[in-house]
Structure 1
């Protein structure tokens, strides 16, 4: 357990940041899941629209330090390729 005043303050700050980061990560995952569901349904226009709203959400999470920048870029790239393949197929 934290003994010093600064350690106690650090614990409080970490709690607040954790709450914010958890919400941000959850929000990002929700947007990604919407893209995945649109791809699974086979609707290219819906998938493209979902991807367009998911990309800023992922990049914002990377900018805020919730996920690594390269992780966000990789996820965007892979989702984009799947959406592109879906629209080319249909």
Structure 2
């Protein structure tokens, strides 16, 4: 248990930050799920729209420190590559 006033304050701050970060991470997962569903459906236009709306949310998570910036870059790169291959698979 925290004994000093500053330690008690840090506990309060951590609780607030944890709730905020959990909400941000949940929102990111929701956007990623929408992109995954669009890719699974095979609709390239819908998948591109979903990725376009997910991108700012992922970047914001990186800015706020919820996700590492390289993790976000990797996820966006892999998703965009999968969406790009949707068009190639449909044409082949």
Do they fold alike, i.e. is TM over 0.5? yes
- What stretches of structure 1 move > 6 A for 4+ residues in a row? none
TM-score w.r.t. length of structure 1: 0.97
Counterparts of residues 2-81 of structure 1 (less than 5 Å): 2-81=2-81
TM-score w.r.t. length of structure 2: 0.95
Separation (CA, whole Å) in 2 of partners of 1:55 and 1:87 = 20
Alignment partner, residue 89 of structure 2: 89
3-state secondary structure, aligned to 2:67: coil
Separation (CA, whole Å) in 2 of partners of 1:85 and 1:57 = 23
For these two proteins, the number of residue pairs brought into alignment is 90
Root-mean-square deviation (Å): 0.6
Q: Give unmatched runs, 5+ long, in structure 2.
A: none
**Over residues 5-34 of structure 1, what are the superposed CA-to-partner deviations in whole Å (9 max), with x where a residue is unaligned?**
000000000000000000000000100000
3-state secondary structure, aligned to 1:67: coil
Q: Give unmatched runs, 5+ long, in structure 1.
A: none
Separation (CA, whole Å) in 2 of partners of 1:41 and 1:53 = 18
Separation (CA, whole Å) in 1 of partners of 2:61 and 2:86 = 26
- Measured after TM superposition, the shift of residue 89 of structure 1 is 2.1
